[in-house]
Amino acid sequence: MRKTKYIVLILFTTFLMGIAFPLGKIGIRYAPPFFLMGIRFVIAGVLLALLVRRKQRPRGARQWLQAAAIGVFQSAGVMGCAYYSMRWITSGESSIITCSNPLIVIVLTRLLGGAAYSGRQWAGAVIGFLGVAVAFGFHLGLQPGTFIGLAGAFCFAAATLLIKRWGAVFDMSVLAAYQMLAGGLALLLLSALTEHPHFTVNAVSVTVLLCLVVMCSIVQFTVWFSLLRSGDPSKTSAFLFLVPLFGVLSGWLLLGEQVNQFVGWGGLLVCAGIFLVNWEGNRKAHKPAAREIAFK
């Protein structure tokens, strides 16, 4: 994939991830979090499955289980934890914790696969996460939502690595469809066990749900999975540090949330972290990438 196209798609998909936080904050006014996410992913999964029905579906029980496992981590785990954590912490804090995923990916690929990363790349991951924390003024506290959000970050990291490991045998749009459907069904089951499912129908709630289904699910997951399969997952995941920044800006536009001077300084650190993580890999061409995915 050409570098310009890669950057444009990264910015586009991280913007969609970021705007999903304030949209979700609006949405949970009209439905409990697990139920809202469940109907979001079931509708998105069904629609996308219909759109890609002529493409090759998963073959055999093993591939169906792989798609379902990715869905449990990616759709149910990540978004379920992110939205449930907002009962104790803000949407900004939730996005900070969720997007610590790139550092977790680097740690897991090092421990599980013996991937070699330079000090520059490690520093870039830490600086990127520090930049996100600065952008939100270090307002993180140890509450139940903090640990729930951290569980979501680990789910995000696990899904990233599973997509890189298993994704080659799937059409990415097909995988996006069935993993959303699996994750959505898991969330609906969880909602039935822990919530009182309801959805208040009005112009705002329906508009929010449609945006979450079409743009923040079907489009976003399809693009994101394609980027993960075509590149190094740790480098691609590094750009997730942009998600909270897009979340802050869209929260300011949609919800009138205050944006302070820390966002600018945090943004500079985020850009520096992304540059450091990616710069080393570009200089060493394909050799490190081969080692990084050796855990297959």
What is the Cα–Cα distance from 22 to 252, expressed in whole angstroms? 9
Q: Residue 54 has what pLDDT? A: 87
What is the Cα–Cα distance from 92 to 129, expressed in whole angstroms? 13
Q: State the pTM of this model.
A: 0.77
Instruction: List b or e across 111-149, with b for residues whose CB sees 16 or more CB atoms inside 10 angstroms.
Output: eebebebbeebbebbebbbbbbbbbbeeebeeeebbebb
Rg of the chain taking only CA atoms, in angstroms: 18
| Closest C-alpha among 108, 44, 30 to residue 75 | 44
pLDDT per position as a tens digit, 104-149 = 777 777 777 666 677 777 788 788 778 777 766 665 556 787 788 8
Q: Residue 40 has what pLDDT? A: 93
| Closest C-alpha among 94, 92, 143 to residue 258 | 92
What is the Cα–Cα distance from 159 to 80, expressed in whole angstroms? 14
Q: Residue 182 has what pLDDT? A: 94
Which pair of tokens denotes residue 244? Answer: 């909270």
Tens of pLDDT along the chain (296 residues) come to 677 888 889 899 999 988 988 898 899 899 998 999 999 999 999 999 999 888 888 888 999 999 999 999 988 998 888 888 877 877 767 777 777 777 777 777 777 766 667 777 778 878 877 877 776 666 555 678 778 888 888 898 888 888 888 877 888 888 889 999 999 999 999 999 998 999 999 999 999 999 999 999 889 888 887 887 776 666 777 787 788 778 778 878 887 776 667 766 776 777 777 777 766 444 444 444 333 333 23
Mapping DSSP to helix (H, G, I), strand (E, B) and coil, where does residue 206 land?
helix
pLDDT per position as a tens digit, 3-39 = 788 888 989 999 998 898 889 889 989 999 899 999 9
Contacts of 288 (CB under 8 A, 6+ apart): 115, 116, 232, 280, 281
The region, left, alpha or beta by phi > 0 then psi within -120 to 50, assigned to residue 137 is: left
What is the Cα–Cα distance from 90 to 102, expressed in whole angstroms? 21
